[in-house]
Amino acid sequence: MFDLKLPQLAELQEKRGTGVFKIYGRVLQGRYLLDGQSIAVPAEGEAFVEDLFETIRLALIGGGQGVVDGQPVAVSALTAKLLVERYSHHAPLREAWATAAAILGARIEGYQPPKKKAQPVRRQTRPKRSTSRGSSPTPAPSEPTGES
């Protein structure tokens, strides 16, 4: 879970030597939306790798929790550093670039998680009950006996 809270924003600005909007601008440079799809053009990028990794590390600290191999984990400053070193440093920079852009965008532009679609309420269906009183079959009409 990523969350850049004020203490983490202050540390990001201090470590990067500039304001959060300047960092955000560098990270966004070279990233575009086309028909709702994020497109990255690395030749136009301006971000430093430290912009990316520090944003991710500090957002992990601010979020305080994460998921590793499907299991929830508490995230401290040390854990965040180890997670970034283990997963971000060895992955393609394009992934860290997209993650940092999403983190900064959520903090600066805002983020509304998609609303979960309400599941329709399903009534329990009961088996239909017979309306006849007995369980014996209806008697067949009697045949004429020829008596009058």
CA distance 27 to 45: 7
The model's pTM is 0.72
| 107 contacts 113 by C-beta, under 8 angstroms | no
Collect the ranges in the chain with pLDDT lower than 50: none
Domain boundaries, the chain: 6-109
* 3-state SS assignment for residue 2: coil
**According to the model, what pLDDT value does residue 140 have?**
56
**According to the model, what pLDDT value does residue 111 have?**
81
**According to the model, what pLDDT value does residue 115 have?**
81
